[in-house]
Structure 1
Amino acid sequence: MMEMFQYDFIQNAVIAGVLISIAAGIIGSLVVVNKLTFLTGGIAHSSYGGIGIAIYLGLPVLFGATVFAIITAVIIAMLTLNKRNRVDSLIGLMWAFGMAIGIIFVDLTPGYNVDLMSYLFGSIIAVSSADIWYMAILDIFVISIVMIFYKEILAVSYDSEFAALRGINTKFFYTLILILASLCVVAAIKAVGLILVIALLTIPTYLAEAFANRLSTMMIISSILATMFTIIGLAISYFYDISSGASIIITAVTLLTIVKLIKK
């Protein structure tokens, strides 16, 4: 297994995988605890619009996806804050709109287009140095925000009504959590793609819930599990020459199933 680490692209993939896993473990815990999985899925697929626009304008793809994902997160937060009963329709609308925008701009781009399958299903072995720097900065930002506002995020996550009575701006932190989720989604595009990104955010957290009784502990365990899934998935992808994103998620689902069966 160690022989694969002699290649630079594998080394970059492992570094990127660890960085993504840290963010996914932290943000995934917030997504699951706040029951925002479906909303985050809507943001993930809507960000395809940013990918299409970036390709059309000749901009860095991750930059375009980031801007579009943040805008989508803010819009979704505004629309769903007081209309939780219509959240499915709103998310479906944003989901379809973002994907449609992306497809249209890609079609309008003259000449040869990049391999869009890598953005849908991931291609972590193709990460660049710029991607790794983006992920490192994202990790620093996410960890800093969570540490600074941990008490407020904890209160909003478990009892938003009580938090509001304590004077905490629940609307702000609800929006902040969605923005952090959107940033994590963009970072994870390179690893598992838009289609599978929600699995990377949620499966480690579902497993961590069985071993943690505090949000902070859940974040740490989720990050460790996500890292483990990513490295094992990368090894499987390398030795069997299959998609890295799919390998990572299959690894995660398999271990989740084993743990659940053992618990039963």
Structure 2
Amino acid sequence: MSDILHFEFMQYALYAALIVSFICGIIGTLIVINRMVFIAGGIAHGSYGGIGLALFLGISPLVGASLFALGLGGIMAYLTHRNNTRLDSLIGVLWAFGMAFGIIMTDLTPGYNVDLMSYLFGAILSVSLEDLYGMGSILALILVFVLVFYRQLIAMSFDAKFAKLRGVDTELLYTLLILIVALSVVMSIRAVGLILVIALLTIPPYIAEKFTASIAGMMTLSSFLALVFCGIGLLLSYHFNLSAGASIILVATSAFLLQLPFKKR
């Protein structure tokens, strides 16, 4: 293990794994208990449109993906409040539009030389110091958001109508949550890619839900599990020359299958 830490890229990868684990543990818990998995999936895949647009405009792909994801998140929040009956279909349309738009923009970009596979399946071993600062900033934003609105988030998650009667602006809070989810998804893309990010956002909270009795406990255990999955996945990818993102998700899904026989606490 010590020989791995001699490499700067592995140090950055471990730092990224730590930050992404907290992001996925905290936001993933809110995604699971609010049943927002499909919304998060739509944002993740739709954000590919921002990557393609960024390449076409010659700006940072992560900046483009962030702005595009925020736009998609705002649209999905609006649709959630206005049209619940066909929400899954509308999200599917936005999902497909984002992917198709990204591909078209990439096709129109003359002489691009960016490895798009790294955004689809992750490239945690190529994380830069700038990426770490970006991830850290989003984690700080998430912590502030959760600490400030913790009680309101719990109320909305378990009984939105009751929370609204108690004076909680559930529409605004839900919109803010979706926008935070959008940023979290984009920041996690560097670790496992937009194809696999939903697994890292949902598997740790799903497992943690069985063994905890509070939202705070679920967030804590989810973050720890995500960190374990990332750590083991990185070790496997290093020793066997495998894709890091896929290795992390394979470890996570293996743990998911192993916990199935256990009953919920």
Q: TM-score, normalised by structure 2?
A: 0.97
Shift of 1:103: 0.6
Structure 2 match to 1:54: 54
Structure 1: distance between partners of 2:96 and 2:66: 18
Structure 1 match to 2:202: 202
Shift of 1:262: 4.9
Is contact 2:203–2:252 with CA below 8 Å preserved after alignment? yes
Q: Note if 1:153 corresponds to 2:164.
A: no
Q: 1:212 to 1:262 in 2, by over 3 A?
A: closer
Once the two structures are superposed, what CA deviation does each residue of 1:144-185 show, in whole Å capped at 9, x if it has no partner?
110011111111111000011111111011111111111110
Structure 1: distance between partners of 2:92 and 2:252: 27
Q: Which deviates the most, 78-87 or 29-38?
A: 78-87
Within 5 Å, which residues of 2 pair with 1:246-257?
A: 246-257=246-257
Shift of 1:82: 3.0
Structure 1 match to 2:106: 106
Does the residue aligned with 1:73 lie in a helix, a strand or coil?
A: helix
Structure 1 match to 2:65: 65
Structure 2: distance between partners of 1:109 and 1:178: 30
1:229 partner amino acid: F
Does the residue aligned with 2:82 lie in a helix, a strand or coil?
A: coil
Structure 2 match to 1:241: 241
Structure 2: distance between partners of 1:76 and 1:7: 42
Q: Note if 1:19 corresponds to 2:19.
A: yes
1:237 partner amino acid: S
Q: Structure 1 runs of 4+ off > 6 angstroms?
A: none
- Structure 2: state its 5+ residue gaps: none
Shift of 1:211: 1.2
Structure 1: distance between partners of 2:43 and 2:23: 16
Is contact 2:210–2:263 with CA below 8 Å preserved after alignment? no
Does the residue aligned with 1:85 lie in a helix, a strand or coil?
A: coil
Structure 2: distance between partners of 1:216 and 1:58: 41
Is contact 2:191–2:245 with CA below 8 Å preserved after alignment? yes
Structure 2 match to 1:118: 118
Once the two structures are superposed, what CA deviation does each residue of 1:208-251 show, in whole Å capped at 9, x if it has no partner?
00111111111111111101100110000111111111000000
Q: Note if 1:84 corresponds to 2:90.
A: no
- Structure 1: state its 5+ residue gaps: none
Does the residue aligned with 2:107 lie in a helix, a strand or coil?
A: helix
Does the residue aligned with 2:101 lie in a helix, a strand or coil?
A: helix
Q: Which deviates the most, 171-180 or 76-85?
A: 76-85
Does the residue aligned with 1:2 lie in a helix, a strand or coil?
A: coil
Within 5 Å, which residues of 2 pair with 1:172-251?
A: 172-251=172-251
Shift of 1:83: 1.8
Structure 2: distance between partners of 1:33 and 1:263: 18
Does the residue aligned with 2:261 lie in a helix, a strand or coil?
A: helix
Is contact 1:121–1:194 with CA below 8 Å preserved after alignment? yes
1:216 partner amino acid: A
Shift of 1:263: 4.7
Structure 2: distance between partners of 1:154 and 1:142: 15
Is contact 2:192–2:248 with CA below 8 Å preserved after alignment? yes
Once the two structures are superposed, what CA deviation does each residue of 1:55-106 show, in whole Å capped at 9, x if it has no partner?
1111111111111101100100101223222011101110011111111111
Count how many residue pairs are aligned between Structure 1 and Structure 2. Answer: 264
Is contact 2:55–2:112 with CA below 8 Å preserved after alignment? no
Structure 2: distance between partners of 1:184 and 1:148: 18
Structure 2 match to 1:135: 135
Structure 1: distance between partners of 2:115 and 2:105: 14
